[in-house]
Chain A
Amino acid sequence: MSQKEDQHYIDAIINGDTRAFSVLVERYKHMVFTLAAKVLKNHEEAEEVAQDVFIKAYTALASFKGESKFSTWLYKIAYYRSLDYLKKHKRTVNTGSIDSDTEYHLTSMEDALDGLEDKERKQTIKAAINELPHDDAVVITLHYFEELSLKEIADIMNIEPNTVKVRLFRSRKRLAVLLKNKLEPEILANYGRK
Chain B
Amino acid sequence: MEENKELDDFIRKSIKEAGLEKPAVDFTDAVLSKIRVANQNDSLLVAKPLLSKTTWFLTFAAVAAIFGYVLFSDSTTESTWLAAVKLNKLTSFNLSLNFPELSFSAAFIYGSIAIALFVWLQVFILKQRLDKRYVAS
Which A residues form the contact surface with B (CB < 8 A)? Answer: 18-19, 21-22, 25-26, 29-31, 33-34, 37, 43, 46-47, 50-51, 54-55, 58-59, 106, 109-110, 113, 121-122, 125-126, 129, 140-141, 144-145, 172-173, 175-176, 179
Contacts and interface: CB of A to CB of B under 8 A. Distances in A.
Interface string B6-30: 1110111011111111111001101
Contacts, number: 89
Contact of A125 (B18, B21, B38, B39): B18
Contact of B19 (A25, A113, A122, A140): A122
A13 to B, nearest CB: 10
Contacts of B28: 22, 25-26, 29
B18 A122 contact: yes
A145 B20 CA distance: 8
Contacts of A26: 28
Contact of A25 (B11, B15, B31): B31
30 contacts: A18-B32, A18-B36, A21-B32, A22-B32, A25-B27, A25-B28, A25-B32, A26-B28, A29-B27, A33-B23, A33-B27, A37-B21, A46-B21, A46-B23, A47-B27, A51-B31, A59-B38, A106-B7, A122-B17, A122-B19, A125-B14, A125-B15, A129-B18, A140-B11, A144-B11, A144-B16, A145-B16, A145-B19, A145-B20, A176-B7
B44 to A, nearest CB: 17
B35 interface: yes
A58 B22 CA distance: 21
Interface of B: 6-8, 10-12, 14-24, 27-28, 30-32, 34-36, 38-39
- A interface SS class: helix
Given A106-B6, A145-B16, A30 B31 contact: no
A82 to B, nearest CB: 13
A154 B43 CA distance: 39
Contacts of A55: 31, 34-35, 38
A129 B18 CA distance: 9
A141 B16 CA distance: 9
B35 A176 contact: no
A50 B27 contact: yes
A81 B19 CA distance: 22
